[in-house]
Amino acid sequence: MSERDRLRPLALVALGGFAGAVARHGVGAALPGGFPWATLAVNVAGSFALGALLFEERLVGRLGAEARLLVGTGLLSSFTTYSTFAVETAALSPTLAVANVGANYALGFAAAVAGRFAVGEFAASEATG
Could you give the residue ranges of the DSSP H alpha helices within the chain?
3-30, 37-59, 65-68, 77-79, 82-90, 94-128
Q: How many CA atoms lie within 13 A of 36 on its CB side?
A: 29
Nearest to 41 by CA among 74, 84, 94: 84
52-84 confidence digits (pLDDT tens): 999 998 888 889 999 999 999 999 999 999 999
76-125 confidence digits (pLDDT tens): 999 999 999 999 999 999 999 999 999 999 999 999 999 999 999 988 88
Under 8 Å between Cβ of 115 and 47: yes
Q: What's this model's pTM, rounded to 2 decimal places?
A: 0.91
Domain of residue 24: give its range. Answer: 3-128
DSSP state of 32: -
Instruction: Tell me how many domains the chain contains.
Output: 1
Q: Is the pLDDT of residue 20 over 80?
A: yes
Between these two residues, 102 and 34, which has the higher pLDDT value? 102
